[in-house]
Structure 1
Amino acid sequence: MSESKPYPSAAAGWFLVVMLTIAYIFSFVDRYMLGLLIQPIKAEFDLTDRSIGWLLSAFTIIYGFVGIFMGWLIDRGKRIWIVSISVALWSMATVATGLAKNFGQLFAARMGVGIGEATLSPATFSMIGDSFPTEKRGKPIAFYSSALPIGAGLASLLSGAIIAWTASSGNQSLPILGELSPWRFTLVIVGLPGLLLALFFLVMKEPKRRPALASGAVIGGSGFRDALKYIWHNKALYAGFVMIICTMTAIAYSQGFLAPAFERTWGWSPQKYAYVNGFALLIIGPLNMMIVGAISDFWTKKGVEDASLRILYVGFFILVPSAAIPLLMPSAELAFAIFCVNIVGIGIVSAIGVTSLLMITPAQIRGQVVALYYLAISWAGSLGPIAVGELSSGVFGEANLRYAVALVPIIFAVPPLLMMPLTRRLYLAQMERLRAST
């Protein structure tokens, strides 16, 4: 592709990436925290695993839907201001989760978190595409994606510390909000700092939009209808490709049940699981993602056309078995050791998914296609905890939660596995068509 127009300086590009990554870390702390607080929430509101499954899915159900509109807005509006508003919104919604008085308010607040966070990644990948040439996007995208394990790890450590502290000292009081139980106090405390971060984005600059690189031979315009037509015309390719990432999100979101599964199966307290999980995520996750990004860039420069797709396939084959096997192990320690391998698999798929997507997506519809991509993978992700809740409450029994968690990876992995040979052929053909059209 012709990319003659100068890109921003490397310093400017990386400063933007760092700030957006910090925002993503904040988002994941707010998003991930709820799964570590399941037991006290379940006890206070007298909920079943089925209800918890729907509560964990509230975020993802709305996340993808709102992302469609946000993708259109991102392709036209001032992206850095849109990010600022979204950070403020999800932070306030996290605080609202901690103040909820019933299940309906809990569900609505979690949907509010999803509405706020739906904007961040489409805006980020749009701006990264305008800040770095194709062969240099792997590292910044992987760096941004490293916020996933960092945010989840910090959420684990922070929640473990807060839960342990409040468990020993009882309820906590805050000005205006009054007395709060430990789980409520935790959510309020992690939500408030995001409001300060939102103010910072208001004064940042964003990169200038680059001209469209694809000709009318591939796609006619930059509207939402054009994006839909493009995807429909390449539906087999996008279906096979996106289902791989959908498997990852279904598995990752279903793991919101891991803390109670470890407690019910092996007697680990939520605090112990939070500490062990937090350190594992922080040690393994970011390094793994940066290595993946570097390998992707290296292979691409060496002329391996489908480098990112090959890496995605490797991640898939690590991800699925390492998610299904652990909860069938005889001890918590062995189970968690295998889950450390699963962190690697999730990290690979997370880090390389959008890099692979950008290789087959024309520039002028990038924001909208990324938004549609997040719609698909977030809705698939929402099915993960719903499936666990239904299997636990309706099939295995809630005392055997681990079997429900173990079965979900197998259920979601079969369709993309069968389509992999076709997906690769279509992927290579589409890359060739995009090159020929520019």
Structure 2
Amino acid sequence: MNAPIASASADRLRSIADHETGAYKWYVAAVLGLAHTIAVIDRFVMVLVTEPIRAAMQLSDTQLGLLQGTGFAILYCGFAVPLGCVADATNRRNLIMAGLSLWSLATIAAAFTTSFETLFATRILVGMGEACLIPAGMSLLATYFAPANLARGTSIFGLGANFGYGFAFLGGGAILAGLQASGGLALPGIGRLEPWQGIFLIAGAAAVPVLIMLLWLREPPRRPGSAVEKGMAAQLGAMREGFGYLWANLRSYAPFLLIGAMTAVTGYAMTSWSSSLFVRVHAMSAADAGKLIGLIGVIAGPLGTISGGYLLDRLRGKGVAGAPLIIMAGGAIVALLTAIGVGYAPSLPVAAAFFCLFIFESTFVLPSLYVGMQLLTPDRYRGVAASFNMMIYTLAGLGLGPTAVGAISDHLTGSKGLAEAVVIVEVAMVLIIVPTAWLARRRYDARMRAAAA
């Protein structure tokens, strides 16, 4: 009775080995990277057209902040961990296709909204759809790639975020300029759409080629004893065990989670309002601002990520206590100084230079945020810890950062009101992050050594 079972398990392991050594895995990584690109484009396209939407719907800065961050973050954070469990117990390719279809259709629907309430609803659906991508995508990559080259596959997936940010602004800015020059987008049977409406429509439709490529992405065989065989109940039980561990050690995790959350606010407070800052303070058009932001993002973003990972390894190698916390504290100070530079620069070139430094800094701290959480956690709980860290980071960054800036800006007057609001938020983050990091760095190291043991 056991021989057929053993033979089937051996055949499955050989099939898994074939997936790990074949060239097809690079196609998987490339398609997942493209899906990541589309996700980030649809996430940030709202920032590109903030000012045209503000004029068309007569919205306040508080409402714009809710649209840029909170609307997206609500279901993105709420569904991230549960969908991670679903990814471990179902067909991951189909889950990604369903999520991609949902968020791209929601982006298209945003083109036809006429009020804050309906536009906010579409942003909620975008967040819900995108919540499945990272858990399911990382699960697929871990199956297709052997440990020896998993980092390379993951880097291709991660590059999608950098390209998505750049294309959302650089390509989106060029398309917006073209639509403004032609007076909008004419559609048979619908009529002429405003340029900002055309941007949403084009961004959502960009998902179609990726959906077609996903049809050729095969769901690989699961390892014997995986969650798909044990069932959802077993996977949910493992998740509860992981969260139980985090809760039992919350005093050790709390300083890192607080610093990570406030670090997210420093980044999104500026990036979510970057287009509006260049339009209101430096008199650029929304299209030109988008092209400038996109160009800076494509160049400075990857350089910051690579440099941040290198410095973290160097500091840890030299035994610097709480190295991830120190890097995030330094990043908060740089974020404040560069935010002042962007808002109060005497000329556009100087403001662009400061924004380039800000983007470099905001990606520089990311390796410390991700790796720092993993170093605190035993291996068997790292998946749950990573999902929880991502949830806290996104909820604080997107849920609080843009809305806080908008709410403060509504109570300030003058052409520099938005710039002042950004600086006020950055100051508040520095006052939280820096002393917390300094006080927690040695306890962090002690906790890290305990987790390793």
Please report the TM-score for the alignment, with normalisation by the length of structure 1: 0.84
CA 1:316–1:251: 2 relative to 1, 3 Å:
closer
SS at match of 2:298: helix
After superposition, the CA RMSD in angstroms is 3.4
Aligned letter for 1:200? M
Which residue of the partner structure matches residue 179 of structure 1? Answer: 192
Match of 1:374 among 377, 384, 390: 390
Which residue of the partner structure matches residue 203 of structure 2? Answer: 190
Which residue of the partner structure matches residue 33 of structure 1? Answer: 45
2:140 corresponds to 1:148: no
CA 1:301–1:20: 2 relative to 1, 3 Å:
farther
2:297 corresponds to 1:281: yes
Match of 1:272 among 288, 294, 297: 288
Distance in 1, Cα, partners of 2:241 & 2:131:
21
2:408 corresponds to 1:391: yes
Q: Aligned residue pairs: how many?
A: 425
Q: CA deviation at 1:388?
A: 0.9
Aligned letter for 1:411? A
1:254-303 per-position Cα deviation (integer Å, ceiling 9, x unaligned):
23222222222221221221121111111222243245456667888999
Which residue of the partner structure matches residue 216 of structure 1? Answer: none
2:429 corresponds to 1:417: no
SS at match of 2:192: strand
Name which of structure 1's ranges 291-300 and 117-126 shifts more when overlaid on structure 2: 291-300
SS at match of 2:111: helix
Structure with more relative contact order (C-alpha pairs < 8 Å, separation 6 or more) = 1
1:174-193 per-position Cα deviation (integer Å, ceiling 9, x unaligned):
24544211110111011112
Pairing 1:177-326 to 2, within 5 Å after superposition = 177-205=190-218, 208=222, 223-254=238-269, 255-293=271-309, 315-326=331-342
Query: Would you say the 8 A contact 2:378–2:452 is kept in 1?
Result: no
1:173-227 per-position Cα deviation (integer Å, ceiling 9, x unaligned):
2245442111101110111121331343344245656989xxxxxxx99533212
Query: Would you say the 8 A contact 2:332–2:429 is kept in 1?
Result: no
1:139-190 per-position Cα deviation (integer Å, ceiling 9, x unaligned):
6555544433321211112221122111111122224544211110111011
Distance in 1, Cα, partners of 2:207 & 2:357:
31
1:375-429 per-position Cα deviation (integer Å, ceiling 9, x unaligned):
2112211211111111111244676211112222222233232222454434433
Q: CA deviation at 1:304?
A: 9.2
Question: Higher Cα Rg: structure 1 or 2?
Answer: 2
CA 1:305–1:15: 2 relative to 1, 3 Å:
farther
Which residue of the partner structure matches residue 217 of structure 1? Answer: none
2:86 corresponds to 1:73: yes
Query: Would you say the 8 A contact 1:32–1:152 is kept in 2?
Result: yes
Please report the TM-score for the alignment, with normalisation by the length of structure 2: 0.82
Match of 1:107 among 108, 112, 120: 120
Query: Would you say the 8 A contact 1:145–1:289 is kept in 2?
Result: no
| Percent of aligned pairs sharing the same letter | 29
Q: CA deviation at 1:69?
A: 1.8
1:15-56 per-position Cα deviation (integer Å, ceiling 9, x unaligned):
443332221111111111111111211111111112111121
In structure 2, runs of 5+ residues without a counterpart are: 1-15, 227-234
Query: Would you say the 8 A contact 2:68–2:272 is kept in 1?
Result: yes
Query: Would you say the 8 A contact 2:242–2:381 is kept in 1?
Result: yes
Aligned letter for 2:61? D
Aligned letter for 2:201? V
Name which of structure 1's ranges 407-416 and 104-113 shifts more when overlaid on structure 2: 407-416
Name which of structure 1's ranges 243-252 and 330-339 shifts more when overlaid on structure 2: 243-252
Which residue of the partner structure matches residue 215 of structure 1? Answer: none
